[in-house]
Structure 1
Amino acid sequence: MTAAATAPPQFGNAAVPVPYRIVSRVAETADTVTVELAPVAQALPVFEPGRFAMITAYGIGDVPISLSGWHGNRPVHTIRAVGAVTRALCQAAPGAVIGMRGPFGTTWDVSSAAGHDVIVVAGGIGLAPLRPVIRRVLAEPTAFGRVSVLVGAREPAEMLYRDELRRWAARAQVEVIVDRAADGWTGPVGLVTALVAGADVDPAAAVAFVCGPEVMMRSAARALIDRGVPAAAVRVSLERDMRCGVGWCGHCQLGPLLICRDGPVVNHPVAAPLWDVREL
């Protein structure tokens, strides 16, 4: 990834949330929703795939949420309810006003993958930050080579974007796997890393985008590299306790990096030694 393509953007006051209104809400699973947001007045700069917003539930707090798409010029975010703030955001109905700061962080640098085969490996909610990548490469079939999308979920009911997965399968190799089967499930059961061996790409000429739980990303990156994907062509999205978004507070420091500023997207050679750093 080039520094110019992935450097954090310049913006004004990073500490003040900009009001956005929820204009649509789609329940993806029992605990995950996708919301489309429109600015109440002022709009934030355009979010590129990979970057994130600090989204505020007024009176409760804020959390980092990566972009999961665009509807026209409106940002779309997929949120899983795992704490007080995300529960409040997931329960908010269309018409509710929330706050956003950003965009923050580095991008997936999708343009630099032009001319290459593309492998996307997603685990659980990690599919959300990768959805703009998939949409981009499928929208420009002449710019990219073969595309393989490998998706894992804990169980079938937790699979995100099911209708979209079926549409993607008409234009790319799409493979899904679950940790635990359920009644009626006829697909494979196991870890998403098991799908890497069957990716229909030229590994030496491929660029990989990986997002999910850290243990999954470590295993997937190793499987991709063992398959022949160059380590520098494997991109992962790191996650830490990001609060300010611009490297002021230091909560997200990992080794020499401040993940909100220097990440979340980094190449595997950057991530690999950091995964072995013990946190305080």
Structure 2
Amino acid sequence: MSELPLVGLAAQISDLHANPALLRDEPRDIELHDFFMADVLAGDWRPLAEQARNLLRGHAGRLGIHGPFWGLDISSPDPEVQAIVARRMDQALDVCACLEASQMVIHSPYTLWDHHTLDHFAWRSAYDWIIANCHACLRPAVERAEALGVTLVIENVQDKDPDIRADLVRSFGSHAVALSVDTGHAHFMNGIAHAPPVDFFIRRAGDLLQHVHLHDGDGCADRHWPIGDGSIPWKAVFRALGEAPKMPRLILELSDKAGIPASIARLQELGLAR
């Protein structure tokens, strides 16, 4: 039997200070959640980054950050908003450069409204229009990410269609843009909007998949519960992950970081991950 995949974790620096054992048991991938708020990115974030560098000294896992998303629409058609989005992405890439982070998570622009309405606009290709707006917001960031060795991974949020983000990723024609699947978001959309199940999202991402957020839920809200506390069919999810051309980064993204050890233990009990 092949070795079980190693899960990483999303956390703030304060969480890692409070739970240093999470950094010692295995070389887990880390996704820092300290650098997505506008006031942090527009302020002096370097002392915070220095704390992270000191804390992670000697850590052998890969490092990523969650990029800005609150209040940002990467498909905005407004040139002034596009400039703000571009500036926030550039500030977040400054953090990546400082920390030598190799992934940055950003949010999908697609909404449930888009899924049910875009085909109504026969007067123009609404799909191409959204992609063009995303390029206006993200093209400078993509070019800089290429130079830095950072991959921007676009995670599903309100996506009902598991394929629509893949079209966006391919439109950039860049190794610096890839897909993320958020298990809780997919399960939420399955529950409220009859989107395909989580394992379908994983499978349909194919060779574009480089990142997965792992958290459980009940299909009624975006819970970010520990593994096993909700109704996601984890065996099906990891069966789909096992079919991927390359195992993506697997990041536990729990609201309550105290649930991380129990989530890892649950995945081990199921023979899925460690």
Both proteins in one fold, TM over 0.5: no
Point out the structure with the larger strand share: 1
Point out the structure with the larger helix share: 2
